[in-house]
Amino acid sequence: MNPPAVATRLRAAVRREPLLPVLLVLLLGLSAAYHEFAAVANLRNIAVQASPLVIAAVGMAYVIMTAGIDLSVGSMLFLAAAIESARAVAGLPTAAVFAVVCLAGVLMGLLNGLAVAFTRVPALIVTLATMQMFRGAGGHVTGQQNIDLPAKLRGIGTAALLGVPAPVLLAAAVALAGAFVFRRTTFGRYVQAVGSSPDAARNAGLPVRGVLVGAYVAAGLLAAVASLTQTARLGAVQPSIGQGYELTVITAVVLGGTTLLGGRGSIGGTVLGALVLTTVQTGLVFSGASPYVFDIVRGGVLLAAVLAAAARWRNLAQAARLTGRATPA
Amino acid sequence: SSTGGSDAANGSGSGKKRTIGVSFDLLNAIRQAEKAAIQKAADAAGYSVEFAVADQDAQKQASQIQDLIQTKKVSAVIVIAQDGQQIAASASLAKARNVPFLAIDRAVADQANVTFQITGDPVADGKAVAAEFLAAAKTAPLKVLELVGGLTDQNAIGRRDGFNAALAGQPGVTIVSQVPTDWNPAQALDGTSNALQKDPTINAIYVPSDFLLPSVQSALTAAGRLAPIGDPKHVFLVTIDGDQNGCKAMQAKTLDADIATPVDEFGKQSIAAVTTALGGQPVAPKAVQAKGLTLNQANYATTSSQVWGCAS
Amino acid sequence: MRPEPARAEGSVTEPSAAPPAAGRPVRRPEWLADLAMLPALVALVAVLSVMTDGLLTASNLTNVLSQSAVVAIAAIGATFVILTGGIDLSTGSVIGASGVAGAWVLTSSGSLAAGIAAGLLAGTAIGLAVGVVVARLNVVPFAVTLAALYVVSGCTTLLSHGRTIAPVPIGFIRFSIDGPAGVPYAVWLAIALYVVAQVALTRTAWGRRVVHVGASAEVARISGVDVARTRASVYAVAGLFSAIAGMVLTSGLAGAGASMGSPLLLNIVGAVVLGGTRLTGGQGSLVRTGIGVLFLGLLSNGMSLLGLASFDQQIVTGAFIFLAAAADGLLRWRSRRSGDS
Amino acid sequence: MAHPAIAVGSVSKSFGGIAAVDGVSFTVSGGEVVGLVGENGAGKSTIKNIIGGALRPDAGHVSYAGAPAVHGVGGAKHSGVATVHQETSLFPDLTVAENILIDRLRSPGRATVRPGQLRRAAAPVLQRVGAGFGPEALVRDLSAGQRQLVEIAKALAAQPRAVVFDEPTASLNLAERELVMGIVEQLRADGVAVLYISHYLEEIARLTQRIVVMRDGRVVADRPTAELDRAALESLMVGRELAQGHPPLAPPREATTLTVRDLGDGARVAGVSFDIAEGEIFGLAGLMGSGRTEVARAIFGLAGGIGRVEVGGRRLRRGSVRACIAAGMAFVTEDRRHEGLFLDRPIRESLSIVELDAVCRSRRTGWLDDGRERRLTEELARRVRLVARGGLGAAGGSLSGGNQQKVVIGKWLAGRPRLIILDEPTRGIDVGAKAEIYRLLADLAREGTSILLISSEMEEVLGLSHRVGVMHDGRLTGILDRAHATQEAVIRLATGGAA
Ligand SMILES: Nc1ncnc2c1ncn2[C@@H]1O[C@H](COP(=O)(O)OP(=O)(O)OP(=O)(O)O)[C@@H](O)[C@H]1O
Ligand SMILES: Nc1ncnc2c1ncn2[C@@H]1O[C@H](COP(=O)(O)OP(=O)(O)OP(=O)(O)O)[C@@H](O)[C@H]1O
Ligand SMILES: [Mg+2]
Ligand SMILES: [Mg+2]
C-alpha cells in the first residue's frame, strides 16, 4: 500500500498502544549499548523468558478488566507446578499431565471466581486468602522438597518449531486468542461491560456472575499454562516458585495501560507490558547491575507508565468529547 | 550414654519426656535434611521435638520462639535464624528464661546469649570449590560464570568471597561474569542463559547451591552445552550443599564436584549440646564451624555414602 | 473533568453498612456495624481455647498482644488510606526503610531521640511523597504504591548493602519487652494510638473528610472539600504510622533490615478488611481494624500453639480470612437483598 | 378478550421496613399509553423496577400478556417488556452501538461479535431517536441528555411489545422532548403498550389515554385522561391544593454580585460575558449541549480557566472550587447521583458537609459538635421540606430522586450564599416539590441572594428569571430581559437565529 497510508496506520497503532515505540526504543538502545544484545539468539532468549509472564498477564488482564484483581497468580503457579511434579501425576503420559495441570488451574480459578461472584467479598481479599491457601496446598503436595521433573515434561520448555521455541509459540497463541475473545465474543464484551459499570450490567440483565467466574477461570487456566512453561524450563519444582509473582504480573498489565478501575484496557497492551518488563530485566543483567537496582528501575518504569496512561486517558476523553458531539448519525 | 539417657527418658513411663523447640527460617530440601537429622538425634537422645517454620519472616520467627519458650515451656530451642542479627532478641529472651539457645547452619552475630552454635563454613566451602577449579585448570584454562546467592545472606556472601579470594591472582581461571540470583531459580535460569549468550566461550560455572542446579542445567540444555564429562562441549560445574540434584548429576557425570554440607553433624552435635546444657555443664567449644565434605568424580564411590543427598 | 459514572454508580452497588431502620436511630447502626466481626473473634477464641492449652493464660495473651503490636500500628495508617478508597502496598517497605533509617542514626549517633526522629521523619516523608503523587496527579493508588514498594525496598537494600543494622541499645529493645503490668510499652503505645486515631476519625472534621472522599470524591470536591489535600494527608499519616511500626519492630527484633517489613503487608491489609472496613472506601473504623488485628494475631498464635505445619497454617489463615470476610459480606448482602437486585 | 400487555396485581414492596409500594394494581393494554404520576417518593420508579424485573415484589404478581412474569430482568426482556430508566444505566466504556445492542451483540447466525455489523444495526435506531452522535462514540463522552437518548434507543432496538418510560424527558430540552413524544405516539400507533412516568403534566395530558396517580405508595386514582384537568391531577398527587403559577419576583438591587467576562473552558465554551445583580435571578436557556452546564462549571471552578470571574468586585482565582465557596458561591449540580450527595452515607452528612467548620466546637480545632450538626441539618431538612422516612441517619441512596435533589439544594443553604448556581434544579422533581423550590428561590432572591438558573424547562426559566441569557453552541447569543423573554425569542436565539 502507499506510504502515507502506512504512516497513518502506524500513527493509529501508536496512539492505541503507546508502549510499542517504548519497546522499540528500548531494544534499539540496548542493541547499541551491547553488541551481543542484538543477536537473534538473544532476542529469542528474551521472548522465551517473557512468555510465562505474557501468558499469566493475559489472564490477569481479563480479571482486572472486570475491575477485579487476582493476587493468587503466584500461588496458583506454584500449586500447578506442585501437582505436575507429584509422583501420581508425573507418571502419566505427557498429554494427560498437561490436561491435569490445566484442569487444576481451571478449578483454582473457579474457586476464586465463585467466591468473588457469589459472596460480596472484594476480589482483593478473596485472592489474598486463596493466595495463602494455594501455596499451603502446594507445600502439602511437594512436602516442601525440591522435585525434578521427568525429561518428557521439560519438552515444552526446550522444544522448538521452525526455530521458534515452544514457549514463545504458546504465548503468541494465548495472546492472539485472548485478544480475539476480548474483542470479538460476547463474553469478551461482557467482561468489559461488567468492569465498566456493574450496576448497568445488572440492569441490563447480563450474566454478571457468569462473566466474573469466567474471567477468574481464565486467569487460573492461564496461570497453570504459564506454570507448565516455566517449570519445564526450570526443570524442577522448588517451594519458592511464584513467590511475589502476582506483583510482577500486575505490573505488566498496568504497564500495558489497563486501568485497575476496570473497563478500560487492551490485551495487546498487556503483551507489550510483559515484553517491556522482560527486556528491561535482560538489559539490566547485560549491564551487570544488582537486583536491587532492578527493583528500583522496575518501580520507576511502572510509575512512569501509570502517569503516562493517566494523562493519555484524559486526552482521549477530551478528543472523543469534541468529536463525539460532531459525528453526524 | 545417649542410649542410656533415652532409656531413662522413655522407659520411666512418667511421660516426662523433654521437648526441644525448633524454629527454621524456611523449609526446603536442605532444611528437610537438617530437620530429619535433628529429629533422628533427638529420638536417639529421648527428646521430643516441637517444630516451627517462620516463612522467612523475622518477626514471625521471634513470635514462634516466644510461644515455644513461654507458652509451650520447651526445655531448649534450636534455631536456624532468618537473620543472624535480629535473632538476638529471641536469644536474650531464652537467656532470661534460662532456656538453652542453639543456633545451626546460619551464624548468629551476638554470641553472648547463644549456648551453642554449629554452622557450615561458607568461606571454606567457597575455597574448596576454588580448589576443584584450580585442579581442573591444570588441563585447560577455565572461563568461569559465577552465580551469586542472595546478597543479604551471609552464607551466600561467604561462599562468594571464599571462592574469589582463593582464585585471586591464580593463572588459568578467569571469572568472566558474575550473575546475582537472589536465591531465585528463575533468576538463575535467565541470568545463566543471558550470560552464556553474552559470552559463549564460558566453559565453567560455579553454582553456589544445589537447588539452583536444575536451572543451570536447563539453561545449558537450551544452549546445547549440557554434556557429560570428557565431551568437548562439557561445561565444568561445581556446586555446594550435596542434595539429591547434586548426587543425580554426579552419577550422570554432568557435575564435576559438590561440596556437601554436613547436616548430620548439625543434628548430632546440637542435640549433644542440648543434653550437656540441660545437664548444667557449659558447652565447649561454644561455636563449631563444620567444613563441607568435597565429593568429586574421583572419590565418588568411597564418599557418596556420607553425603545426605545421596543417602535417600 | 466530568465524573466517571462507572465509578460513581459502582458506589451505589456498595451497600450502606446500616440500612435505614424505622424510627430515627442515627449512631447505633454505625456501632453495630463496627462490632460486626466481634462474634467471629469470640468464636475463634472459644474454639482455640478448647483445642490448645495455655491460650487463655495471661502470659500468652500478653504475647499475642506484643506480637500483634507492629501490625496493629501499621494497620491504623492502612485504615485511613482504605477509608479514602485507596490502598497502600508500600507499607511493608516503608516499615523496613524507616526502621533502617532509625536504627542507622541510632547506632551511629547513639542518641535515642535522634534515631526515632530520623525513623519517623523518613517514613512520613515517603508517605507524603506517595500521597502527593496519588492525589495531585490522581492516578490509581494501587499502581503508585506498588511502584513505591519496589523503589523504596530497592533503595533501602541498596543503601544498607542488604545488611541488618544492629545492635541497637538495650534500652531501646526494652521498649518491646517490659512495661507496666508486665505488658510491653509497645502494646500500650498501640492501644493509645488506636484511641487517638478513632477519635480523630469520628470526632474531627479531618476524619469526616477522609470518609467523605472515600464515599464519593466528586461530591466532596463540589462541596468544597480539598480532595487532593485530604488524600495526600492520608498517605502521609499512613507513612507516619508505618514508621512508628518500623521503630517498634526494630526494637522488637533488636535490629533493622530492609526486608523485615515486607512479610507484614498481607496481615496489615488483611486485618483492616477483615475488621469490616470497606475496600472501596467510605465505610469503616479503627474499632473494626482493632478486631481484625486481634483476630489474625490470635489465629497465628493459636496455630503455633497447635504446632501446625507452616503450609497448614497458610491454608487455615487463608480460609479464615475468607470466611470472616464472607460472613460479613453475606450479612450486608442479606440486609440489602431488598435494595438492588 | 386479549390480556393486557402489562398487569400489575396488588403489588407491595418495602425497603428496610418502609413501604415504597403498597397494594398497587393497574393494567396497560397494547396500543394505549398509560400515565403514571405522583410526588417524589410516591413509588413510581419502584413499580417500574418491579415490572422490569429488577426488583422482586414482596407481595402481589405481575403478568405480561396474561403470562405470569418470570422474575429477573432477562425474564421481562424475554416477554418483550423494555424499560427506560430514570437514572440511565449505560456502559461508559462501550460504544453507543454496543450499548444499544448489548443483548444481541452476536451477529445473526455467527458465533462472533462484528463491529461493522453492530454499527449498521445501531445507526437506524439512533436516527429514529434523532441522536446527534454516531454509533461509534463512547458513552463516556456523551452529555446527560445524549445518554438519555441512547437509553431510549436501547429500549426501542429490542422491538418491545410494551415499554416503560421513567421520566425519559427529564434531561432533555424542548426539541428532544418533542422527538421523544413523537416516538411514544409512534409506538402507540404500532400497538405497543406504553407506561409513561413523568412529572411534566402537559406531556401526560398530551400523550396518555389513562392516568394512574400514586401517593405514598398507593394508587389514589386510575381514570381516563379526559376526566382529569391539571388542577385536579395536582391535588390528587399532592393531596392538597397547590398555589398555581410562579411566585412574584422582587426587583433586583443595584449592586452586582457576579461579573463574568470572556469565560471559556478551552473545549466547548468561549467568550461568555454577563453580570448578575444582587437579588437577581438570571436564567440560562439553550438546547442540550449548548454548553450551559460547562458555563456553570467553569464559573464554579470545576472546568476550564479562561476568562475573568468576579464576585462582589473581588476577582476570583480560577479553577478553585474552595475559592468560589469562600467568596459565597453555591453550585447545585445537574448530576445529583454522582456529584450531589453521598448515596451510602447518612443524609445528615450530605447536608452538613459544606458548613462542616460551622458545626465544629471551635473553627480552628476542627472538633465536631454532634448537637450543633443535628440542629443545623434538621433545620435545613425543614427548609427544603425533605421527606426522609428513614430519618436523617438513613443512607442518601434510599431517598427518591426528588428528595435527593432537595438534599443537594439544602446543603448550600447553611452558608447563606451570595450566589447560587442551579443546573437543572427541578429535573425529575414533582409539582409539589417544584413549587416549593420556586418559592425558595424567590425568597432567597428577595433576601438579596443572586441566582444563576439553568433549566431546559422553558416556562420555568421564563417564569422565574429577571433576565434570560440564551446559549447556542458554546456562545452566549443574547440576553433578554423579562419583558422581551418570550418562548419564540428564546428558541430563535437558542437555534442560532438573531435576536
Ligand atoms: N433501594 C432503596 N432502598 C431503600 N428505600 C428505597 C430504595 N428505592 C426507593 N426507596 C424508597 O421507596 C420510595 C419510592 O421511591 P421511588 O424511587 O419509587 O419514588 P419515585 O416515585 O420514583 O420518586 P421520583 O419521582 O423522585 O423518582 C421512596 O420513599 C424511597 O425512599
Ligand atoms: N457527562 C458528560 N461527560 C462528558 N462530557 C459531557 C457530559 N455532559 C456534557 N458534556 C459535554 O459538555 C459540553 C456541553 O454539554 P452540557 O451538558 O454543558 O450542555 P447543557 O447545555 O448543559 O445541556 P445539558 O445540561 O442538557 O447536558 C458538550 O460538549 C458535552 O459533550
Ligand atoms: Mg423515580
Ligand atoms: Mg447541563
Residue C112 confidence (pLDDT): 92
Tell me which ligand sits closest to the C-alpha of residue D170. 2
D167, D197 Cβ separation under 8 angstroms: yes
The alpha carbon of residue B153 and the mean position of all alpha carbons in its chain are separated, in whole angstroms, by: 12
**Chain A: closest CA distance from residue B188 (Å):** 9
Record the cell numbers describing residue A311, joined without a space. 494523562
- State the DSSP code for D338: I
Question: How many other C-beta atoms lie within 10 A of the C-beta of residue C134?
Answer: 26
- Report the nearest-CA residue for atom 20 of ligand 2: D289
Residue B44 — pLDDT band, cuts 50, 70, 90?
very high
User: Comparing C-alpha atoms, which of B44, B105, B33 is closest to residue B272?
Assistant: B44
Q: What percent of chain B has pLDDT over 70?
A: 94
pLDDT digits (tens, 9 = 90+) for C237-293: 999 999 999 999 999 998 998 889 998 998 999 899 888 888 888 989 999 999 999
Is it the case that residue C57 has pLDDT exceeding 80? yes
pLDDT at A189: 94
Which other chains touch chain B, taking contact as 3+ CB pairs less than 8 Å apart? A, C
For residue D342 the three cell numbers come to 453521598
C163 interaction partners in chain B (CB closer than 8 Å): 152
Give the residues of chain A that fall short of pLDDT 50: 319-329
DSSP C210-274: HHHHHH-HHHHHHTT--HHHHHHHHHHHHHHHHHHHHHHHHHHHTSB-TTSSGGGHHHHHHHHHH
Nearest ligand, measured from the Cα of D42: 1
Contact (CB, 8 A) for B240 and B292: yes
Distance CA A256, CA A277 (A): 10
D401 lines ligand 1 (CB under 6 A): yes
pLDDT tens, position by position, B198-215: 888 999 999 999 989 989
CA of D146 from ligand 2 middle (Å) equals 8
**Who among B53, B84, B110 is closest to C310 (CB)?**
B53
pLDDT the model gives residue D87: 62
pLDDT along chain D (499 residues), means of 10: 85 84 93 90 89 89 87 81 80 92 81 88 89 88 82 89 89 78 91 91 91 91 90 81 73 91 85 94 86 91 86 88 92 88 92 88 79 92 86 87 88 91 85 84 91 88 92 90 88 75
Cβ neighbours of residue B260 closer than 8 Å, sequence gap 6 or more: B241, B242, B246, B292, B293, B294, B295, B306, B307, B308, B309
Partners of residue D368 in chain C, C-beta under 8 Å = 203-205, 208
Q: Which alpha helices (H) appear in D353-466, and where do they start and end?
A: 370-383, 401-413, 431-446, 458-464
- Tell if the CB–CB gap between C321 and A67 is shorter than 8 Å: no
Contacts of B90 (CB under 8 A, 6+ apart): B61, B62, B65, B66, B77, B79, B101
Cβ–Cβ below 8 Å for A199 and C341: no
Of the pLDDT bands very low, low, confident and very high (cuts 50, 70, 90), residue C29 is: low
pLDDT tier at C108, thresholds 50, 70, 90: very high
Distance from CA of D212 to the nearest CA of A (A): 25
Say yes or no to pLDDT of C173 above 60: yes
Mutate to test the pocket of ligand 2, among D150, D293, D456 (most ligand atoms within 8 A of CB): D293
Distance from residue D454's CA to the centre of ligand 4 (Å): 8
CA distance A186 to D102: 9
User: In angstroms, what is the span from residue B218 Cα to ligand 1's centroid?
Assistant: 66
Three cell numbers, residue A82: 506442585
Looking at the predicted structure, is the pLDDT value of residue B117 above 90?
A: yes
Do D and A have ≥3 inter-chain CB pairs under 8 A?
A: yes
Q: Across the interface, do A197 and D112 touch by the CB < 8 Å criterion?
A: no
CB contact under 8 A, C150 and A129: no
D166 lines ligand 1 (CB under 6 A): no
- C-alpha to C-alpha distance for D391 and D406, rounded to whole angstroms: 14
* Interface touch C304/B52, C-beta < 8 Å: yes
Write down the pLDDT at residue A105. 97
Name the average pLDDT for chain C. 85
Nearest CA-CA partner of D437 in D404, D400, D409: D409
| B193, B199, B217: residue with CB nearest A45 | B193
Say which ligand is closest to the CA of D142: 2
Q: Which residues pair with B293 in a beta bridge?
A: B260
Give the pLDDT score at D172.
75
**A233/B contact by beta carbon, under 8 A:** yes
> What average pLDDT does this structure show over C195-199?
96
| Pocket perturbation via mutation, ligand 2, pick of D138, D140, D143, D177 by most ligand atoms within 8 A of CB | D143
Residues of B in contact with C164 (CB under 8 A): 83-86
ipTM of this predicted structure: 0.83
Question: Chains D vs B: touching, with 3+ CB pairs under 8 Å?
Answer: no
User: Does the pLDDT of residue C21 top 60, yes or no?
Assistant: no
Q: A145–B29: do the CB atoms touch at under 8 Å?
A: yes
Q: Which of C287, C257, C145, D455 has the alpha carbon at shortest distance from A250?
A: C145
Q: Whole-model pTM?
A: 0.85
Instruction: Determine which residue's CA is closest to atom 10 belonging to ligand 1.
Output: D398
- In this structure, the residues whose C-beta lies within 6 A of any atom of ligand 2 are A 321, 325; C 2; D 141, 143-145, 171, 268, 286, 288-294, 334, 456
- List the single residue in A with minimal CA-CA distance to D126: A329
Which residue(s) pair with D275 in the sheet? D259
The residues pairing with C169 across neighbouring beta strands, listed in sequence order, are none
